[in-house]
Structure 1
């Protein structure tokens, strides 16, 4: 249970950092297939699915609420080392994925899938350096429907390995408004500001419903792809994973580089690799 919660924390934190994919983190820690299966069979296998989803959701919630602020401080104080930590977390999961295709002949379709998805992630990072105009979160029927739609888009991209949901939100102008609304909701909850909580719910509830709908829908599609074309899917994910460190480097700032930052960055990279390998163990 504790290990699954820790994995959820990593996924939750990853989902709010532009360039970092929660789906990739799930792959790196060896629970991606389990999450997809649980999300698509939570009615027919309710107890089994809840044993997976509940600790992951608890951990992701903790990651979003508590650890995210710590990570933000780390990015402010030590951006180079923090970026390399996440690169290590991604790279550490690559051996587990390559084992899935070990012994299988490499076909042209596998190479095409790997290259296309590598180019897709790097291309998104290349165009994602500037944020779109901040979205309007004032409460009306149109904005509520927009928030529902944005929730679907955000969750769908968060589930797909290699694609940063926060990066997509940034491109369409919802990243900072939604993140600020989440932080405001937490502050109102701590101070028990009921009017503020109700205002926050008006924004976060339709967004949250969209997230749930998006996760279930895209998880079903991904499950079908893995059933029909498993090795093409694995090679596509390998392309996404290999591209993710490039996306992180392109999307984030590194501050001043010195000998000390390089050495400590290498340590952070190694820590990330080891942590991913340990979290990926059954």
Structure 2
């Protein structure tokens, strides 16, 4: 159970980083198939599923709680080096995604390359356009209204779909749609009230977080029944669209985090060197993790799209 908790902890931490796919890390850790199967078959094998899911999701929750403060601090105090860390982490996951794409073609009929390229270009353009929209009209705040809560619930469902598919980042989707800073701020406020046993609870933050989480949970339960079939039967198109988003992700991260504002005026050697160091550390972290990925090779050597 400790191993499941630690695996969940790692996935929770990386899932908060825009551009990094939590399920790509799950594949690298060899638990992706078990996570999907435990969720799908919970009613049939509830005891064994619970033995895995409880410590796993506890780890995810704590990982997100630990990461949210670090990410918020980094983006506020050191936006450019932090953005470079994000870019390094997602760049290091590309070899693993390429491996998954190759496995998705083994024993399957190759789809037309132009179709795959078209999907890649479309996903790239959509991600880029969403990032540019945030540059011109960033989301500054939302009032507690039914349309807002419905938008947060729907965002939770969409994020669960992105979270479930290896190569896609739910956090990047949230960032591209303009909710990342808002949700992380609300989450920190909610955590502060809970951890300090505050008599005053920010109910706005509470309902923001709970509504999003509710959408995520419902989406995860529903779409976990279909995601494996999508990855197996439409793997080439799935990973082509993931590559498109990944290609746009570095620019999207720079734009959405306003990292270049850190470079206004004089550029110090320390700033540049720290940014490069963060880039390399991020890359090596996910790259080395990907080297030990065996799940899809072991369990799905003949499956793809």
Instruction: Establish whether TM, by shorter chain, passes 0.5.
Output: yes
Alignment of 1:37-76 (within 5 A): 37-44=37-44, 46=46, 49-50=49-50, 53-76=53-76
Among candidates 112, 135, 151, match of residue 107 of structure 1:
112
Question: What's the CA shift string for 1:28-53, capped at 9, x where partnerless?
Answer: 56359434454444444546655664
Q: What's the offset of the Cα at 1:185?
A: 2.5
Question: How many positions carry a matched residue from both structures?
Answer: 271
Q: Which runs of 5+ in 2 are unaligned?
A: 294-305
Change in 2 beyond 3 A, CA 1:144/1:13: closer
Residue number in structure 1 paired with 2:27: 30
Distance 1:246 1:51 in 2: 41
265 and 133 in structure 1: CA distance in 2 versus 1, 3 angstrom threshold: closer
1:128 equivalent in alignment to 2:165: no
Q: Secondary structure at the match of 1:114?
A: helix
CA RMSD of aligned residues (A): 3.3
Aligned partners of 1:110, 1:192: CA distance in 2, in Å?
52
CA distance in 2, matches of 1:199, 1:122: 31
Contact 2:19–2:246 at 8 Å: present in 1 too? no
Q: Which residues of structure 1 form unaligned runs of 5+? A: 15-19
Are the counterparts in 2 of residues 162 and 244 from structure 1 also a CA contact under 8 Å?
no
Q: Describe the shift of the 1:169–1:61 C-alpha distance in structure 2 as closer, same or farther (beyond 3 A).
A: farther
Q: Does 1:279 align with 2:289?
A: yes
Higher mean C-alpha displacement, 32-41 vs 241-250: 32-41
**1:123-272 map, 5 Å:** 123-129=129-135, 130-132=137-139, 134-137=141-144, 148-159=153-164, 161-162=168-169, 164-167=172-175, 170=178, 178-193=183-198, 196=201, 204-252=209-257, 253-254=259-260, 255-256=262-263, 257-272=267-282
Mapped to 2, the partners of 1:77 and 1:268 lie a distance apart of 15
Secondary structure of the corresponding residue to residue 237 of structure 1: helix
